[in-house]
Each structure stands twice: as structure tokens, then as C-alpha cells.
Amino acid sequence: MCVLGQDLAQPETDADPWPASALFREDGDATGAGVSLMEIARLYGTPAYVVDEADVRQRCRDYLDALPDATVAYAAKAFLCRAMASWVREEGLGLDVCSGGELAIARSVGFPPERIIFHGNAKTPRELREAVEMGVGRIVVDNLAEIHRIAALVPNGRRQKILVRVIPDIEAGAHPKIRTGGEGQKFGLSIATGEAGVAVSRVLEQCNLELVGLHCHLGSQIGSAEPYEQAVKILVEQLALIRDAHGVALPELDLGGGQGIAYLEGEHGLSPRAFAAAVTTALTERCAGLGLPAPRLTVEPGRSISGPGGMTLYRVIAVKRGGGRVFVAVDGGMSDNPRPSLYGARYTMRMIGRRSHEAPRPVTVVGHHCESGDVLAEDVLLPADVRPGDLLVVAATGAYHHSMASTYNATGRLPVIAVSGRRARLVVRREEPDDLLVREVGL
């Protein structure tokens, strides 16, 4: 197993966790895309997600600019709603989906099916049928049983393009629970055991399936290009072995996503340009060394496109002391952001809406759920006079917040407000108790 750490030298990275348009004034006022965050809280209530549309669109363009000869597919699992799917479509990216629900959202906005890549380690028969019927561009095979299931669904006269997801045995990512490139986890087909090779042979035997390449995904919140370079070398070697064994040069190589972003001030993410320079060089050199034509590269960024453009607004409900700590309780929590509980994720927070002359002190920001683990942030510096009614804003919440939200304690999920050009508009409404009761069909 190849275990790769984070590169301390971070060329061309972004150390600011806030959207480029975020402004904080000395009087306490704060804006995103020219829109007052306090006014958003007044009009739409709290807690609420705010997404800077221009920031998201610019990050889409940054990837296309950095990788002009590659396919860039946005990873929908990071954050998806109809508005987001439309922005991605309009910017010319593909879309990586991993469920029938994500596929339905894509369909609802007319996303071109040929630009969709369908993932998943346990796709249901219904999901596979919907994907084939819709005509998605690629289905990523993640287990041997899928091969015959997909082949049986493809109508005569058609060929479904297939990628085989392999395990390069590279551990990368910010937390063990979000590392997906090593042996011993549920994703992909093992190169080491020969299962990946069996999958390749079986796909090639199916006349209505077209094997176009290999796929891998290393993990999430990866801060260095080094793991991707290693993955390129391993997968290109597999492409050469396939050429030698089967006489075919597969034309595509999908490296997945996982590029990291800054969550704390002074923290670094992996920029599209630094990532692109490293992987394209590795691809060119390794292919040349093996006498293999360079395949078309596909990448699937998710967090690094939607994450930095998102912010979350909370209202302080209570402040109390205990056990030598100061607890600031807010009106949201683990139902709208489970990442601190799941992975120990850390965030940048600020108090906005008024000017404080008090020095900052470390506090623990907690949610309103009946769980001792419902902690949003520890040792956050907030003004010593923070009090009920104050407004807090959290940076870099555009990925894996809305998409992982729950209704724990029968708490409705948050609205999503898009800001752009000094205007705010509601793109996902707040989930109310009546929405939860709609699913109740009897006693």
C-alpha cells in the first residue's frame, strides 16, 4: 500500500476560506456578492445556507482553463440542487452522479445525458435501468455483478460506454473515513487480487458494452498533487497491461476528484492549476515511457468547486459556561453540518451584525440537537460579549452540508439562498414541519 501525506509546499493555492466576494466591515456589516448577510437572515431566517453563484461559476471555469484538453465533471454528491445543476451545465462541465435522485435532478434541468457519469458501489437495478434509458455517457462499473446487469439492459443496436473503477492502493485524504483509494474499503475492484483484470475481460466480452477506460477515486480533501501523480502512474501501467493482453488501447483515464480546499484562515487547498500541471506531466511522461498513446483525462472535482462559495448563517440562542468552557449554542447543528461529528472537521466562524469592542476569546459553538457530540466548532475565537440574538457566519460550507443534511429531531432542512450581482434569490426553500408530516400516511 502506498501512503501519501500532504505536501508542505503548496504552489498556487488559496489560503482564504471565504468566497471572493465576501466583505466584512469594521461596523459589523457583512456582504456576499454585494448582498447584506444580515438582510438575508432577516428575510429568510436562520439557519440558512448562502451560495455565491459567481464564485461557483468561476471555479468551474478555473478547472476548464487549467485542463483544456480534459473532461471536467462536477461531483454532484458535494452539493446538488436544480440551480447548481444548471450552473454546471451552462459552464460546460459534465456531471458525476451516484444515485437515482441525483440523476433525477439532472434530468429535471435538461442536463445533457452524454455528459453524465454514473457512479456507485451498489447501484440498484432501478438506477441502472434509469441510467441506461436516459443514455448517460459513462457508467462506472464497481463490482463484477454489474457487468451482466448493465449488458442485459442495453437495447439492441446500442453500446453503453463503461469505465472500470480500480483500486490503486493509495491512501490519501484528510480522514480515514473519506479515503477511498486503498485496499480494504468498499469501492472499486482490486488490482492486487486480479478482480480488476477479470472485470476488464468481462466487459470486453459484451458486444453491447464499450470499455473506454479506467477510473479511480483516492479520497477527499486531498491537499497535495502527489497522490494523483502516483495514481496516474499506476493506472497507466494497467492500461499498458490491457493493451498487451487484449490488443486495445483504452482512450480514457478518470482520476476522480477529492481536491482539498481551505477551511481555516491560513490553511491551503489544492488549486486547479497546480493539480493540472502535476497530473498532465505525469500522464505524458508515463505514457511515453510505456509506448502508450496518452488517454483523455477526466477529473471529477466537487468540494473544490462548490465548497468555498458557501456560507452558513446561524443565530445565537444561548451562551453558558461549564467545565471551564464557554458554550455558544446556535439554532442549527449536526443536522445541517454533520462533518464535525463524523470527521472532526474544523471551520472558520465570525460574528456579524454589530461591532464589538471586546477582545475575542475561545468558545465552543454547539448545536441545538439532543446529542453531546453536536459540536460545530471548538476553540473558535468570538468576541467576549457574544450574546443571544447575535448572528454567526461560517465559511466554506458549500460542500457536504446541504447534501448530507438530515431531519434529526424532526428539524427541517435549511433553505439555500443564491447570491449574485447584489441580488439574493431562494433556490431551495426551508423544510417546515408540514413537509415532514406529508410522509406520515397513518397511525
CA dist 357 and 193 (Å) reads 63
Catalytic annotation on 370? Answer: yes
- Reference 380, options 406, 335, 414, 345; nearest CA is 345
Spatial neighbors of 45 by CB under 8 A, at least 6 apart, are 415, 430
DSSP for 252-283, written as a single string: EEE----B----STT-----HHHHHHHHHHHH
Cis peptide leading into residue 301 (ω within 30°) = no
The DSSP H or E segment spanning 214 is strand 209-215
DSSP sequence for 22-47:
-EE-TTS-EEETTEEHHHHHHHH-SS
CB distance 74 to 302 below 8 Å:
yes
- Annotate 379-428 with three-state secondary structure: EEEEECCCCCCCEEEEECCCCCCCCCCCCHHHCCCCCEEEEECCEEEEEE
Closest CA to 300 of 138, 428, 131, 147: 138
Catalytic residue among 60, 207, 216, 370: 370
Cα–Cα distances in Å, from 398 out to 56, 76, 140, 264, 288? 9, 12, 26, 14, 39
Q: What residue ranges in 227-359 does DSSP mark as E strands?
A: 252-254, 296-299, 310-322, 325-330, 349-352
Which residue numbers are catalytic?
Answer: 370
